[in-house]
C-alpha cells in the first residue's frame, strides 16, 4: 500500500511540540509549586523591612539562594529514576523536567552569588573581588560551597545543547554525575549561614528531610535496586540476530526474567560488559514481550554503542537498569488502537502489537521506513497480524526517493473513526512531530496520543 508521511523538523523543535498533556503530571507540578511557595513563605517570615540598596541586594540574594537550593533538590530527584514517576509521567517528560529545572537552578544560584556579594560589598564599602575573597575564606563551609558552585556552572555549560551535541555521550554522562558531589558540597553552607535556618530548628529539620529523602531515593533506585536486579537475574547475551540492514536483535538470557515486571512498550538502560562498551549505558526498548528466561532488544546502528552490538559475543555479561517508560497498555483508554512506527521506533510498537488486549480488527499498525528492505521484524509483524486478525500497513519511499506524506485527510480515509482511537507513536523526531500534528488535526485528543522520545 502506498501511504502517508513527510517532513523533517529539528529535533529540539519536534520534541517541544510533542508534549501531550498527562493528568498524572498535574499533581506533581502542583506539589512542586507548593514547595516553592513554602520556601518563599520561609524567606518572607525572616525578612524585616528592607531599606537601602545593600539590603535589597542581600535579601534578593537570600531568596534566590533558597529557591535555588530547593530547585536543586528537585533536579537530583528527577535523576533518581523513581519507577512510579517514570512510569506514570513518562521518562521523556521527566528528562525534560530535569533539563528545565537544571537551567532554573543554575540561574538562581548564579543570581544568589552575584546578589549576595554585591549586597555585602555595598554594605562594607569594599570591591566585589575583595568581598568575594572575604566571603569564601571567612564564612563557614564557603570554600566547599564555592567549589560546588563552580562544578555546577561547568556541568550546566557542558549540558547546553551546542556543547552537548559535540561531546561523546559517555563523557557527558560521567561528567554529569558530578552533580551529586556538587550538591553535597553546596548543601552545608545553606544551614551554616542561611538566616532562615540559623536558630530555626523547624526549618533546619525540614531542609534536612528534603535533601535526606532525595538522597535516599537516589541511593535506592540508582544503586541498590539495579544491584539487586542484576545479582538476582544474572543476564548474559544469548545471541545476536541480523534483522535488516544495520539492524540487529540481541537476545538476553537470564534467570526468572518475568519477575522483573517489565511490560511491552518499556525499555531498559543496557550496559554490555564487553571491550569498548562497558562504560556506556544506553536505553533500548524491548522488541518482544518478556519471556521467563529471555528478553530481546532490536537496535538500529546509529552510533558507536549501537553499532557495536552487532559484534557482541554470546555469553557477554549484561548490566541492566529498569524497566522504565509509560508507553504501555495501561495508557489505553479506548477499544481501538492505531500504532505508528518509524525506523527503530518499531521495537516497542512490535511488542505492543503482539500483546495489546482487544479484538484484532481494532488494531492497526502503520510502519514507516525508507525501503521494503528496511522493514525490520516484518515477518514477525505479518505473523502477528495474521494470528490476531489485525491490520498491518507500511509506507516506504518511492523509486525516486520521494517520502510519502501523513495528513489528517489520509488518516481519516484510512480510519474513518480515527478520533475514537488511542494512538501509540514511536519514531524519529521529524516523523513523530508530523504524525502528531496530523493526528491532532484529524480529531485525536492529545491525551490519547501516547509517545515517548528516547533521544540522548
- For residue 279, what pLDDT is reported? 84
Mean of the per-residue pLDDT values of the chain = 88
Does one domain contain both 194 and 51? yes
Does one domain contain both 275 and 345? no
Taking 60 as the threshold, does the pLDDT of residue 95 lie above it? yes
> Could you tell me if residue 339 is inside a domain?
yes
> Could you tell me if residue 205 is inside a domain?
yes
- For residue 20, what pLDDT is reported? 42
Does one domain contain both 376 and 447? yes
- For residue 454, what pLDDT is reported? 54
- For residue 370, what pLDDT is reported? 86
- Determine if residue 205 is left, alpha or beta; phi over 0 gives left, psi from -120 to 50 gives alpha, anything else beta: alpha
Binned at pLDDT 50, 70 and 90, residue 9 comes out as very low
Taking 90 as the threshold, does the pLDDT of residue 180 lie above it? yes
> Side by side, which strands form the sheet with 318-324?
282-285, 267-272, 318-324
Whole-angstrom Cα distance, residue 381 to residue 246?
19
Binned at pLDDT 50, 70 and 90, residue 358 comes out as confident
- Domain span at 308: 234-324
| 204-253 pLDDT, tens digit each | 999 999 999 999 999 999 999 999 999 999 999 999 999 988 899 999 99
Q: Do the bridges between strand 318-324 and strand 267-272 make them parallel or antiparallel, or are there none, so unpaired?
A: antiparallel
**Residue that is last in its domain, among 307, 324, 341:** 324
> Could you tell me if residue 354 is inside a domain?
yes
Domain count for the chain: 3
- For residue 24, what pLDDT is reported? 67
- For residue 11, what pLDDT is reported? 37
Alpha carbon 441 to its chain centroid, in Å, reads: 27
Q: What is the mean pLDDT of residues 323-332?
A: 88
Q: What is the mean pLDDT of residues 91-101?
A: 88
| 259-275 pLDDT, tens digit each | 998 999 999 999 999 98
| 107-127 pLDDT, tens digit each | 999 999 999 999 999 999 999
- For residue 172, what pLDDT is reported? 84
**Residue that is last in its domain, among 291, 324, 357:** 324
Taking 70 as the threshold, does the pLDDT of residue 17 lie above it? no
Does one domain contain both 309 and 410? no
Whole-angstrom Cα distance, residue 269 to residue 284?
6
Q: How much of the chain exceeds pLDDT 70, in percent?
A: 94
- For residue 164, what pLDDT is reported? 78
Cβ atoms < 10 Å from Cβ of 80:
19
Does one domain contain both 412 and 436? yes
- For residue 22, what pLDDT is reported? 47
Integer CA distances (angstroms), 15 to 26, 77, 80, 174, 231, in order: 20, 22, 22, 25, 36
Amino acid at each position: 500500500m502506498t501511504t502517508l508521511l513527510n517532513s523533517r523538523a529539528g529535533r529540539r523543535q519536534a520534541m517541544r511540540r510533542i508534549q501531550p498533556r498527562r493528568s498524572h503530571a498535574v499533581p506533581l507540578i502542583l506539589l512542586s509549586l507548593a514547595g516553592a511557595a513554602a520556601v518563599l513563605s520561609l524567606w518572607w517570615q525572616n525578612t524585616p523591612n528592607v531599606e537601602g540598596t545593600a539590603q535589597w541586594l542581600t535579601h534578593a540574594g537570600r531568596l534566590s539562594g533558597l529557591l535555588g537550593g530547593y530547585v536543586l533538590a528537585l533536579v537530583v530527584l528527577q535523576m533518581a529514576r523513581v519507577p512510579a514517576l517514570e512510569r506514570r509521567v513518562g521518562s521523556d517528560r521527566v528528562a525534560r523536567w530535569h533539563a528545565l529545572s537544571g537551567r532554573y537552578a543554575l540561574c538562581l544560584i548564579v543570581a544568589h552569588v552575584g546578589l549576595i556579594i554585591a549586597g555585602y560589598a555595598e554594605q562594607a564599602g569594599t570591591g566585589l573581588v575583595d568581598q568575594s575573597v572575604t566571603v569564601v575564606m571567612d564564612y563557614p563551609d564557603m570554600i566547599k560551597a564555592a567549589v560546588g558552585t563552580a562544578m555546577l556552572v561547568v556541568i550546566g555549560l557542558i549540558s547546553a545543547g551546542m556543547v552537548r551535541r559535540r561531546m561523546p555521550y559517555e563523557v557527558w554522562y560521567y561528567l554529569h554525575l558530578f552533580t551529586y558531589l556538587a550538591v553535597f558540597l553546596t548543601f552545608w553552607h545553606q544551614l551554616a549561614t542561611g538566616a532562615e535556618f540559623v536558630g530555626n530548628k523547624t526549618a533546619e529539620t525540614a531542609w534536612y528531610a528534603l535533601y535526606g529523602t532525595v538522597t535516599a531515593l537516589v541511593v535506592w533506585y540508582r544503586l541498590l535496586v539495579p544491584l539487586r536486579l542484576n545479582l538476582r537475574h544474572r543476564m548474559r547475551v544469548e545471541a545476536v540476530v541480523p534483522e535488516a540492514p544495520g539492524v540487529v536483535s540481541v537476545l538476553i538470557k537470564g534467570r526468572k526474567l518475568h519477575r522483573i515486571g517489565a511490560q511491552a512498550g518499556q525499555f531498559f538502560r543496557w550496559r554490555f560488559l564487553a571491550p569498548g562498551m562497558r562504560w556506556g549505558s544506553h536505553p533500548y526498548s524491548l522488541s518482544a514481550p518478556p519471556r521467563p528466561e529471555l528478553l530481546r532488544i532490536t537496535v538500529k546502528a546509529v552510533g558507536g554503542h549501537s553499532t557495536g552490538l552487532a559484534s557482541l559475543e554470546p555469553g557477554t555479561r549484561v548490566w541492566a537498569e529498569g524497566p522504565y517508560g509509560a508507553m504501555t497498555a495501561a495508557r489505553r483508554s479506548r477499544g481501538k488502537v492505531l500504532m505508528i512506527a518509524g525506523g527503530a521506533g518499531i521495537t516497542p510498537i512490535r511488542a505492543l502489537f503482539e500483546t495489546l488486549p482487544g479484538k484484532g480488527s481494532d488494531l492497526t499498525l502503520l510502519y514507516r521506513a525508507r525501503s521494503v528492505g528496511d522493514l525490520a521484524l516484518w515477518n514477525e509483524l505479518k505473523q502477528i497480524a495474521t494470528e490476531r486478525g489485525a491490520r498491518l500497513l507500511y509506507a516506504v519511499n518511492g523509486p525516486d526517493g520521494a517520502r510519502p506524506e501523513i495528513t489528517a485527510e489520509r488518516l481519516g480515509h484510512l480510519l474513518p473513526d480515527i478520533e475514537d482511537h488511542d494512538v501509540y507513536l514511536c519514531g524519529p523526531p521529524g516523523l513523530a512531530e508530523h504524525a502528531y500534528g496530523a493526528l491532532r488535526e484529524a480529531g485525536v485528543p492529545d491525551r490519547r496520543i501516547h509517545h515517548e522520545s528516547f533521544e540522548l
